[in-house]
Structure formats: C-alpha cells, structure tokens
Amino acid sequence: MSGPGLDELVVGKELDPFIDNPLTVTDFVRYQGASGDMNPAHHDTEFAQRAGFPTPFAVGMLQAGVLATYLTDHFGAANVRRFKVQWKEQAWPGDVLTYAATVVGTREEGGQHLVDLEATVTRQTGGVHLQGWATFVVE
C-alpha cells in the first residue's frame, strides 16, 4: 500500500479520525488470546473487583494496537519506523474511543522521507486514554 504523498503531508495536517465501536470484553478476550497476555483483570469480573476495580477494564496494548492499525492503514504496514504510546486514564467496556493523529514534522534521513505524527485516543467523556507518537517512511 502506498500512503499519502509527501506533498500532502504538511505540519498541522490532521488525518481523518477513526471512531471505533463501543469496547467490549470480547474485544479484550480476543486480544488477550492473540497476544498471550492473560491478566484476568481484563475479563474476570470477580478478579477485577477483588483488585479494587468496578468491572474488568480495557487492555492498554489493545488500544495501542488499534492505533497502530489506524496509522498503518494510512501510511502502509511496512513503513512504520517508530511507535510509542503512553497511557493516561483507563478505558472501560462500553467506551467509544476516537483515534486521531496530526502531522508534526517531515524530514529527510538517510535518503528517505520521514513523517512524524502525534496521536491521541480519546474517550467519549473527552478524557484521554492514551497519547501516541509515530514515525513513518513516506514513499
């Protein structure tokens, strides 16, 4: 897949946001099976409550993975060179998350054009679930 050309990528350009379906515990279970992270706090209500949480909560790496899906859909799966996330507030079953990203820089390094992005995953409350940073090669 070839993503957007360099001439379209100017600092401040915002990608079309992706609004996901409401989070479900099934999403968590599916991700946990795929990743091998079996922390019961994400699917076992009794366990989560014993640990002081009202219900199971979202697997942070799932939303990181969906953010990466969103960005690689734009720029190409093979073009990612750096991807970083930092979690803020927790996300919960039923949350509707909006994935958004903005171009914060373009540069040339080793004969390749690179684009730097900042991203956010925001809950329906306006609270930020995670912040992300990514760098892609642009063809």
Partner 1 sequence: MTTSKEDQDGTSYTMVVELGKLREFARATKSSNPEYLTAENPVAPTTFLVTSSFWQDAPPRRASGGGSGSGSNGGAREGAGYERMLHGAQEFVFFGEPPRAGTRLSVHSRPGPEYEKTGRRGGVMKFRELITEYRDEKGELVAEAHGTIIETSQAPTGGANT
Among 8-16, 36-44, 100-108, which window interacts with partner 1 (CB under 8 A)? Answer: 36-44
Would you tell me how many other CB atoms lie within 10 Å of the CB of residue 26?
Answer: 10
Q: Give the nearest distance from C-beta 7 to partner 1 in angstroms.
A: 23
In the block, tokens 């697997």 appear at 59
What is the size of the binding site for partner 1 (CB under 8 A)?
48
Report how far residue 49's alpha carbon sits from residue 135's, in angstroms, rounded to the nearest whole number.
39
Q: Say whether residue 34 binds partner 1 (CB under 8 A).
A: yes
Report how far residue 19's alpha carbon sits from residue 132's, in angstroms, rounded to the nearest whole number.
16
* Residue 35, φ and ψ in degrees, nearest 5: -95, -20
Q: Say whether residue 118 binds partner 1 (CB under 8 A).
A: no
Site for partner 1 in 40-59 (CB under 8 A): 40-42, 51-52, 57-59
75, 99 Cβ separation under 8 angstroms: no
Residues lying near partner 1 in the complex (CB under 8 A): 1, 20, 30-31, 33-42, 51-52, 57-62, 64-66, 68-69, 71-73, 76-91, 129-130
